[in-house]
Every structure is written in C-alpha cells, then in structure tokens.
Amino acid sequence: MPLTIATWNINSVRFRLDIVERFLTEHAPDVLCLQETKVVDAAFPHALFERLGYHHRLVCGQKMHHGVATLSKLPLREERRFDWQDNGEARHIGARLPNGLLIENVYVPAGGDVPDPAANPKFAQKLAFVERMTRWSEALRDDTVLVGDLNIAPLECDVWSHRALLDVVSHTPVEVAALTGLDQSHDWTDIGRRFVPPPARLFTWWSYRNVDHTVNDRGRRLDHVWASPAVGRAATGFAVLEEARLWAKPSDHVPQIATFDV
C-alpha cells in the first residue's frame, strides 16, 4: 500500500496558510510534517487541516519560535517528544502509524552565524543537539522515517558552492562530520540521494536575501528524509516541490515528498 510522507519547514504556519492549503490540495500526502510552526499549541490552525481531511494531528509548539507538527489522514499515536537541548524548545515529535511505522519529525537548531563553538554558544548547542540525536539513533528499531529541517547540507553537491560555504554555518566540516555520524549510527537511507544520486543538484532552501532565487540558484539541501534500512528499501519515489519557493508569501524552504510501499 503506497504511503506518502511530506516534510516542510513552513516558517510560520499561520502566516502561510494559503500555500499550505495549496500544497495539500494539489499533492495530498498521507502525512505532512511541518517544522518552524512558530505557534503555541492552543493557537494552532486546526480548522484548515480538519477541513482538508487531516483529522489526526500532533503538535509541539512554542510562541514565535521553533515548533513542529505532524498532520495525517491516518490515525496517529504520539510516541514521544524529546528535548535534546534540555532547554524547553519545541523541536521534535515522534508519531506511530497503525502499520507500525514511526515518523520522527525534527527541527535541528540553525546554529547562529559563527562556526566556532567556543565563540558562539548557538553553534555549540547545535553540535550537542546532533550528538544527542546520534546516541538516540543508535538504539532505534528498523521501523523509522526521520524527516525534517536538519540544518546541515552534508555533500559538496548539496550547496551552490562547496568552496564558498566551507566556513558558513550549515556546511562546515565539523557539522558535516556530525551529520555523517548521525547517518552512520543507524545505517540510515538518505531517500533524497537515493532517488537523486550525487553529484546531481538537489536543494531545499534559498535565502530570502535573493529577490529571485532562480537567477543565481544559491541553494542548499538543509531538509532531509531518512529511513531505517528496511523502510528505505520500501521507498518507491521522492520529489522536491521547488516551485513552492515562487508561491505567494513563500517559506524559504520547499516541501519534499517521499513515497513508501508499506
């Protein structure tokens, strides 16, 4: 049975309800995982998702910052929510589907601007977050899809210029090493790169500083869909909806959709 899972850093769900509705109307994934929802749970816009058939919803929100939500046409059971920074930020929720598949929706900290953990506490916090995720990942069962904004572009072809971004947070060697460690801790399948093998171009984020991101295409692949080994073997499709970056009031990220035969 095909199962479609979408992931999207929406950068304020209430501000971008129009494009969320457009995406769900046009593509209708079974499950949508959002990051950076920027809304407390009590103010989450449930009505839109209910009207569009996403009757099962798990939200983990925070006022004005962070936040994740998992919306589904299928029943969901909350498995857990972790605070890998131990600071109260809303950055994770794990949801179990009736078929036993576990969907882990994660928003990794961006890490600030200075790629030096001694000089920049936010960067140190990001590295610690990924390290704690790695220890957690080691003990996972082979039944998991990990999606979200991991805020690291690991491959040279995951950024518009490897050389220009070596000292820019999101593509520094120390971050790439950390994400590689997370990847190897569970032998994850990178679904994006399974269907779009390197060195092919694959971006999910473009800065708002570019008035028209298509002119110079200075993108990065910050958003990911990973699967446990057995689940990865069941993957049948993957797409990045790059056109969404040109919609009205866009997020700086675009949605990804992965399909599994489970």
Beta bridge partners of 3: 260
| Range of the structural domain that residue 89 is part of | 2-261
Please determine, for residue 55, whether its predicted confidence score (pLDDT) is greater than 90.
yes
More confident residue, 27 or 213: 27
Query: Region 48-54: what's the mean pLDDT?
Result: 98
Check which CATH number belongs to the domain holding 55 and give it: 3.60.10.10
Amino acid at 97: L
pTM for the full model? 0.97
pLDDT at residue 212, as a whole number? 84
Residue 22 tokens, joined: 């457009």
Cα atoms in the 13 Å half-sphere on the side-chain side of 124: 6
pLDDT at 1: 80
| pLDDT, tens only, 162-175 | 999 999 999 999 99
**Binning pLDDT at 50, 70 and 90, where does residue 93 land?**
very high
Tokens 């605070």 found at: 83
Cβ of 126: how many Cβ atoms within 10 Å?
Answer: 26
* Residue 85: pLDDT over 90: no
CB of 13 closer than 8 Å to CB of 44: yes
Assign 203 a pLDDT band (cuts: 50, 70, 90).
Answer: very high
Distance CA 181, CA 135 (A): 10
Residue of 155, 172, 150 whose CA lies nearest to 226: 150
Contact 203, 161 (CB under 8 A): no
The total domain count for the chain is 1
Q: Percentage of residues in the chain with pLDDT exceeding 90?
A: 94
Give the strand order in the sheet containing 144-149.
Answer: 77-80, 92-96, 102-107, 144-149, 223-227, 189-190
Query: Average pLDDT over the chain, rounded to whole?
Result: 97
- pLDDT for res 247: 97
Confidence of residue 211 (pLDDT cuts 50, 70, 90): confident
Q: Any residues with CB less than 8 A from the CB of 254 and at least 6 apart, and which?
A: 8, 204, 205, 223, 240, 241, 242, 243, 244, 245
Alpha carbons 128 and 22: distance in angstroms, whole number: 37
